[in-house]
Structure 1
């Protein structure tokens, strides 16, 4: 469920002052409508710079995601926009990132963005997993697998993003991955697998086409067929839970895509 958006200029004055102590005098604000995890999401402009600011109240139940992003960001050079500062003031936690000029990735078949996203996942695969506290993929999926032993397929020591929503990928000359709230530790092939679901949902790919793109990521080749089937089924079960009895249109698209992929894998 999306977090209700708060306008940047609705922040307490002390929080805005905290941002300006790093960014400089703010002369213009553009609210960003995309994204689900932040109460504050805005591009703020000073006379000579621009920044992307996201934030949550300090007592928000998911404020830990802000701290997680701040902790993991230094390890993501060349993969994600750089975090420039963190402000904790007046009951808010705010992160200031370099503002990229890219647009959200187009996942449709034939899109020129697809090779760039594949290259992005290859670059991510070369990033060592930092020695910080990260949720483990097998923990996140253990409630959704068909058999308890299936979680072993998801174990690993790689840094994974886990949310390959096309709105989390910004593209210009190359692609960058934003919103690291759900960063985890797990098997190296899992982000390519997450991409399959989003290629089918956001790009309307057939399962074989989505898997062909995932196959451009070297780590995909390390996954046994039974591991991919276990993940596809767990993902479908996850979206079944999220969707409930009356899913909204966006969730219904993800649910349908995950079901179709699970059926495809079972039929192989």
Structure 2
């Protein structure tokens, strides 16, 4: 469990750095959601309301927060704007974001939010990935099913490991592209303002560049986890123009890769909802594999 800090618990140097940007902020509330930061506060200063986020210690979490701080430039008007970003000795990174009010999306079948989500994902796919790390590079390793078999043999029963591993090896090539990807979209990443109908997207800790349909495919799995049948989730995806650029082979490779990766991580580093996500990912992989009569050629 990551250690969380309130305002009064912060080192003097961290509070001092924040005051340089926000004066003497008034803490409105602590934000309990989020598993990757040591500091999460909603505060108010003379310019309005801000969201403070901080990480202590050099780690992947610090890299993810630094990514978030630049997301406002990658997805202007969709990601929250960054008011300041500062490294504080000896080992803190603190970022002040534009505060976004709203509620998370509802992904259940029949939800009125589903068309709004489709429009938001369409907007993301229209941004250029710029200098974001290529997803194809991140997905260079493709042995998740083999690793899964070593630690949880019961989770691969009924699967042809050679088949799903070969599909997984093809995934990196298929997800290559230049569009901006969020790569971690789920209901809590969408902030919906019911008064205006505006949707913003938060938590850009792991952006990437890649094929524009990839974020849509990730959401297909999230929809399955929320109760949609795989075919119905894919039907929803047709509302996003980039979905039509994904080939049958690309979607099958994607589904096999994600099913192996998410199930392995759910076993070795479980988190809230990881079991449901691994089941949904494997359901989607099984759906995509239906109708393939031959194993893909090695690449």
Is the TM-score greater than 0.5? yes
Give the match's secondary structure for 1:220.
helix
Matched with 2:137 is: 139
Give the match's secondary structure for 1:124.
helix
Structure 1 residues 74, 247: closer, same or farther in 2, change over 3 A?
A: closer
Provide the rounded CA distance (Å) in 2 between the counterparts of 1:68 and 1:15.
20
Deviation at 1:66, TM superposition (A): 2.1
State the structure with more CA Rg. 2
Deviation at 1:27, TM superposition (A): 1.9
Instruction: Give the CA RMSD over aligned residues.
Output: 2.0
Matched with 2:48 is: 49
Matched with 2:92 is: 92
CA contact (8 A) 2:126 2:180 kept: no
Matched with 1:126 is: 126
Provide the rounded CA distance (Å) in 2 between the counterparts of 1:209 and 1:5.
40
Give the match's secondary structure for 1:80.
coil
Matched with 1:197 is: 221
Give the match's secondary structure for 1:63.
helix
CA contact (8 A) 2:71 2:79 kept: no
Deviation at 1:124, TM superposition (A): 1.1
The yes-or-no answer on 1:219 pairing with 2:242 is: yes
Provide the rounded CA distance (Å) in 2 between the counterparts of 1:48 and 1:136.
37
Matched with 1:20 is: 19
Deviation at 1:13, TM superposition (A): 1.9
Deviation at 1:245, TM superposition (A): 6.8
Could you list the runs of 5+ residues in structure 1 that have no partner in the other structure?
none
Matched with 2:154 is: none
Provide the rounded CA distance (Å) in 2 between the counterparts of 1:5 and 1:209.
40
Q: Deviations over 1:70-94 (max 9, x none)?
A: 2332131121111111122243111
Q: Deviations over 1:15-44 (max 9, x none)?
A: 112112222322224111112222212211
- TM-score (structure 1 length as normaliser): 0.91
Give the match's secondary structure for 1:62.
helix
Any residues of structure 2 matched to 1:31-70 within 5 Å, and which? Answer: 31-46=30-45, 49-70=48-69
Give the match's secondary structure for 1:71.
helix
Matched with 1:108 is: 108
Could you list the runs of 5+ residues in structure 2 that have no partner in the other structure?
144-164, 292-299
Give the match's secondary structure for 2:32.
coil
Structure 1 residues 247, 54: closer, same or farther in 2, change over 3 A?
A: closer
Structure 1 residues 210, 149: closer, same or farther in 2, change over 3 A?
A: closer
Q: Deviations over 1:115-147 (max 9, x none)?
A: 1111111111221222x2x32212222333722
Structure 1 residues 7, 138: closer, same or farther in 2, change over 3 A?
A: same
Moved more, 220-229 or 167-176: 167-176
- TM-score (structure 2 length as normaliser): 0.82
Provide the rounded CA distance (Å) in 2 between the counterparts of 1:227 and 1:37.
31
CA contact (8 A) 1:215 1:221 kept: yes
Matched with 2:294 is: none
CA contact (8 A) 2:237 2:243 kept: yes
Give the match's secondary structure for 2:61.
coil
Moved more, 246-255 or 211-220: 246-255
The yes-or-no answer on 1:184 pairing with 2:208 is: yes
Matched with 2:79 is: 80
Give the match's secondary structure for 1:104.
coil
Provide the rounded CA distance (Å) in 1 between the counterparts of 2:101 and 2:183.
23
